[in-house]
Structure 1
Amino acid sequence: MAKLEWLKRPGTSLAAMAIGILLGLYDRNVALFIAPVGELYLSFLKMLVVPIMVTAIISSLGKLMASREAVRYLKRTVLTFATGLLLVSLIGVGVGLIGNPGTGLDQRAREVLGNAIMGGEAMVSGQSGTQGAFTVMDFLAMIIPTNLFESLLGEQNLQVLFVAMVFGVAIGTVREKKRDDVLDVIEVIYKAFERIIGWSIYGLPVGLLCLMAGQFASMGMDLLAAMTKFIVLIHLACLIILLLSAVLIWKLTGRSLVRSTADLKQPLLIAFGTRNSLATLPFIFQALRARYRLEEKTVNFVTPLSIILCRYSMVTMFSVGTIFVAQLYGVPLGPGQIATVLLASILAALSGAGAPALVSLSMIGIILAPLGLPSETAVVLLLAVTPIVDPILTMLNVHLACASTILVNGSAVKASRPVRVGKEIKA
């Protein structure tokens, strides 16, 4: 395997992604032909994610419960997540109000948007039943599964996460020696899947090349051109948040902005190429343990919760997207409406946690209904720009998950400053 180590280098993956983008833009037929290879690679990674997530949550929660630290970690985690979501929503609303994405559109852009809305409303009409009041009971119904196997088959990751947490707490409260034996077995299973992930890295450049080729080949360029201002503002909001997140890691760990970004290069690269936050979980685990020397129980507990629950990407999309739709329809937003957008963006993002993209985006109806705006229009337009904004939004999720985990870990981070950098995941 030593001769193939070059396949694991970030430069190789970056070059592969660049080739994929060029293929998607200039040779659409070839790009669409190889795109299924990338989807197969992504499916392979996703196949490994659920076992890794479940075993990580169970083992970490079991150990936390056994050490009586669960309540302390839970308090810090909730406070960190709530603060992060609020700040992201504030930045999204601020960028939207200052940038005015829905104003100043020329006649051609309005025609393209109008055609896209009329053509897409039928597709999303079945998903627009979220305009009524969304209650706590609705959210709990989304979390608690009636059948675990149906949740696994339907990729209801929020429900799978809930079951894993309950099981981890239950194991941690057992006061017998056999508890440690069970946790050891679960950890061995986790390590086995982590080893498989290590093997899969050799195929990462090919997977990223094919994924990027397919994504860029399938973009509707006319619609993207009409929404250029919105796309630019989404990227601007993400860059501002990423910079703040990097500064937070710098302050917590003493590492420079460049160094901290380099330490997280592998999960960030995979996030950008796959557009799938869950697929990066094993690589986040490895980076935070090896590079930052964080406690394994903290990493394995906080990171999956952040990736699945804290949809920072959706908060950004919803906050900027709502401003865009309101301006598109000429609806003025006063202080009360802005406060509604600010808080409802967080609620809508939480409501779509673990759901497929179309269902998650349809949750914007929770924000738009009180403002008297049509959710179908928003869903159609957000779906259209998803291929171009998803890479940086996924990076946003991953970077903030890393920052949140480091913040929750707290004192252990400072003690890790002198420790040398570890190695990447190896086969």
Structure 2
Amino acid sequence: MRHVFRIVSLSSMILLMALPCLGTGPHASAMPGDIRDIQESGVLRIGVIDAQAPPFVFERDGRLTGFDVDLARTLAAALGVRPEFVRIPGGWEGLVDAVAAMTVDIGLSELTKNMARTQRVFLSRPYVLSHIVFAANRLAMAQNRIDAAGLDSVQDVTRHFDVPGFRIATMAHSSLEPLVRELFPRAEIVFAPSSQAAIAMAYEGQADLIMVGESIFEIAVHADPGLLYKIDRLAPSLEDPCAIAISPGRPDLLRFINDYLEVHPSRPRATPREIIDRYMGPPEPAAGEKLPVAAPGPRDGRVDEQDIVLVAGLHVLLLGALWATVVRRSSSRHWLLSPWTVLAAMGLGGLTGLYFPFLAAYLSRPAGLYMGFWRMCVLPIMVAAIITSTYRLLACGGNARLLKRLLVWTPLLLLGAAFLAVGIGVVGRPGADFSKEAQGLLASMNKGMQAAQPGGGLYDQLMDMVDTIVPDNLLVPMVNNENLAVLFVAIFFGVAVAAGKKQGKTTLIDIMDTILESFTTMVRMSLYLLPFALYALSLEFIASTGLELMLAILRLVVCLTLAFIVGGLLSLFLLRMRLGIPLAAIWRDFGPIFLLSFSTRSSVISMPLGLERLKNYPQIDSSQTTAAYPFALLVCHYAYAAFFALTPVFVGQAFGVSFTPGQYLAIAFLALLCVVSAIGTIGLSYVLLLAIVCGPLGLPLEPAVVVGMAAVSIVDPIISGVQALFGCGVATLVVDKAQPVPDACGGTELPAG
């Protein structure tokens, strides 16, 4: 019994001795001195800057929130105390002073860790690894021939921008100020009242390069994507770790926070981009601005009954008018081949795509098969036409004057088109007051676009162009649809045939004529399906782009269309003057050529039809027409000249560049060089040739290409249609009037030489 009493007494004494060591926190018995003081007070004093610093520290609906705020709350909960936030004036340096004076226990507000601050306060291990980013004005880079793709390191940035005359901006009295002075000692340093103001200076062209925090730059782009229209974030950056400042008299708290950041299961590992998305969400539209809405998919096909009634009624109305005006009228041409039927199909398809975009998923594939058939016909038509045309130009002695006329009229007409486009751009000013919404659209398109800037010097660029023209394998350009290489081989082959001495050259040319005629027949037979294909293609185009894209660059599209209309009217004038027939008859014969090229977005596809129409007129020499028309169609590209001249004017106005008369003159001549380089290019790839104009003028290429792509995606049908008409007009301009004596090259072999 005595032993039991001793055991109970000893246990009671041990329990009484342990009671003072038990605290209110979860681990209070294990906590050392300065942490115990905080736990006894029941409050963790947390200093944050007295300013909005989203997404780390900011107020929303009157409540303090942000990534750093939530982190501080979890730290206080781990200590078993209540968080008390104190707003500290004086920015980040004022926050460090408050922590050093022990006014607060800790301080955090995206606080950068650097050596100067470590000498005044304790700084924890980094909890977010941010970066200091370099962002440059795109126009300044273009004017100084600085290629962003070649800036791989900070040393590359300093080498290009640390020169007298360059303006480098950053926030005044920030941790970046001494760093900017160290990296750019020879450049002009410009200080802004805030990082946001520095970004605005780069956008307005008041600074060539800025250094700001990554999160601040991402937030600015998040709020206004149009910033990327004029500012390019460079790839190099400097590490900018964020840490928590701890009062120097609290080493135990420092160890606790470091351990917490290292081993706690909910320790933060987010990137600045993820933090912005988490705390700020998707960007909200500005006042009066609507965010683009994705077109619904095939399974999203919820439709309004009123829309069905409206679209169906318009279909019935338009088809009834077509039946009354076209189908019922007797004509030698089938009603499916009528230009009015084609226009009606395109209009109804666009209307349907606007109201029911989900139908594009079902109709685009059959239309794609139809277009694939026509693309298949382009290559043999081009090869056969160029070979026979080159042969007849060179083998027939009477064509010497025709060749001279082509060499004289082609550059004159192209320069005239370029000067006209420049004049329209100067008067119409399509790029002036470019809207923020349009800039945001171009910036968003720019993100997914590959760099189009040609590398190397002038010699390397010329050799790269030659590499695309001269193939090392005859089959490769034909398989890959590399039309420029195919065009070179066809011209060279035609020259060789004309210069050869062997008999039987006429047989080869006859075979080429047969190939051309056969594919012409194939295209003619497929024209009966053209209205149905155009209905589906118009539906797909409107459904995929919507009206937002067209409205964004409407003024450029209008100016381009005006220049193209002038070219179309000039074509009709040339046809009227040389053929001597009424305009109604010209439209009856050549209107289908325009519509065919317009609908297929290919002027080459109308080549057989154009040759057939021109050869039917006895007023002009048919053999010279056969030789001249393919070259007029492919080389004398009026629409390209207008596009390459007007688009740089638009880009210059959008960026606030004032051109001199000499520069306008240079734009016209450089546009002529672009047209020659664009012969045979694939699809819309000719837009990349804007580098030929933008480079010497110091214009940023990427926005120019984006603008050009967006505009061409709308006006490309007009480009093809106008060029088909213009080729016919130029051909009638350069050929001779028909002679009573048949041409010797019509079907007889000429002696060698």
TM range (shorter): 0.7 to 0.9
1:361 counterpart (676, 687, 709): 687
Deviation (angstroms), 1:72 = 2.9
Closer/same/farther in 2, CA of residues 256 and 172 from structure 1, 3 Å limit: same
Decide which structure has greater helix share: 1
> Do structure 1's residue 149 and structure 2's residue 475 form an aligned pair?
yes
Between 284-293 and 359-368, report the one with greater CA deviation.
Answer: 284-293
Match in the other structure for 1:425? none
Deviation (angstroms), 1:242 = 1.6
Deviation (angstroms), 1:130 = 6.8
Between 295-304 and 281-290, report the one with greater CA deviation.
Answer: 295-304
Counterpart code for 2:639: S
> Do structure 1's residue 316 and structure 2's residue 642 form an aligned pair?
yes
Give the match's secondary structure for 1:219. Answer: helix
Match in the other structure for 2:18? none
Counterpart code for 1:52: I
Match in the other structure for 1:92? 421
Counterpart code for 2:646: V
Deviation (angstroms), 1:91 = 0.8
Match in the other structure for 2:366? 37
RMSD of aligned Cα (Å): 2.6
Match in the other structure for 2:441? 116
1:61 counterpart (387, 390, 394): 390
Match in the other structure for 1:72? 401
Match in the other structure for 1:21? 350
Deviation (angstroms), 1:86 = 0.7
> Do structure 1's residue 282 and structure 2's residue 611 form an aligned pair?
no
Closer/same/farther in 2, CA of residues 292 and 42 from structure 1, 3 Å limit: farther
Counterpart code for 1:356: I
> Do structure 1's residue 401 and structure 2's residue 730 form an aligned pair?
no
> Do structure 1's residue 299 and structure 2's residue 625 form an aligned pair?
yes
Correspondence list, 1:152-191, <5 A? 152-191=478-517
1:392 counterpart (718, 735, 744): 718
Counterpart code for 1:333: F
Give the match's secondary structure for 2:657. Answer: coil
1:229 counterpart (519, 536, 555): 555
2:738 counterpart (389, 406, 412): 412
Match in the other structure for 1:424? none
The answer to whether the Cα contact below 8 Å between 2:633 and 2:728 also exists between their aligned partners in 1 is: no
Match in the other structure for 2:709? 383
1:211 counterpart (537, 544, 552): 537
- 2:475 and 2:360 map into 1 onto residues whose CA distance is 35
Match in the other structure for 2:290? none
The answer to whether the Cα contact below 8 Å between 2:357 and 2:543 also exists between their aligned partners in 1 is: yes
Between 325-334 and 23-32, report the one with greater CA deviation.
Answer: 23-32
- 1:340 and 1:130 map into 2 onto residues whose CA distance is 22
> Do structure 1's residue 341 and structure 2's residue 670 form an aligned pair?
no
Deviation (angstroms), 1:36 = 2.3
Match in the other structure for 1:238? 564
Return 5+ residue gaps in structure 1 as ranges: 416-427
- 1:369 and 1:226 map into 2 onto residues whose CA distance is 25
Deviation (angstroms), 1:22 = 1.4
For residues 155-185 of structure 1, the C-alpha deviation after alignment (integer angstroms, 9 at most, x for no partner) is: 2222212211222222223344422222222
For residues 311-345 of structure 1, the C-alpha deviation after alignment (integer angstroms, 9 at most, x for no partner) is: 32222122111111101111101111111111111
Deviation (angstroms), 1:145 = 2.1
- 2:740 and 2:532 map into 1 onto residues whose CA distance is 38
Deviation (angstroms), 1:51 = 1.2
Between 198-207 and 308-317, report the one with greater CA deviation.
Answer: 308-317
Match in the other structure for 1:419? none
For residues 365-409 of structure 1, the C-alpha deviation after alignment (integer angstroms, 9 at most, x for no partner) is: 111122221010011122122232112121221111111111121
- 2:343 and 2:532 map into 1 onto residues whose CA distance is 11
Match in the other structure for 1:129? 454
Give the structure-2-normalised TM-score: 0.51
The answer to whether the Cα contact below 8 Å between 1:24 and 1:217 also exists between their aligned partners in 2 is: yes
Match in the other structure for 2:582? 256
- 1:299 and 1:324 map into 2 onto residues whose CA distance is 37
The answer to whether the Cα contact below 8 Å between 1:58 and 1:164 also exists between their aligned partners in 2 is: yes
Closer/same/farther in 2, CA of residues 300 and 131 from structure 1, 3 Å limit: farther
For residues 100-159 of structure 1, the C-alpha deviation after alignment (integer angstroms, 9 at most, x for no partner) is: 001134xxx32x222223222244333222796477655544432222211112222222
Between 76-85 and 298-307, report the one with greater CA deviation.
Answer: 298-307
The answer to whether the Cα contact below 8 Å between 1:17 and 1:209 also exists between their aligned partners in 2 is: yes
Match in the other structure for 1:418? none
Give the match's secondary structure for 2:397. Answer: coil
Counterpart code for 1:363: L
- 1:132 and 1:296 map into 2 onto residues whose CA distance is 46
Closer/same/farther in 2, CA of residues 226 and 61 from structure 1, 3 Å limit: closer
- 1:292 and 1:137 map into 2 onto residues whose CA distance is 45
1:325 counterpart (651, 655, 659): 651
Deviation (angstroms), 1:354 = 1.6
Counterpart code for 1:8: L
Deviation (angstroms), 1:28 = 0.9
Return 5+ residue gaps in structure 2 as ranges: 1-330, 742-753
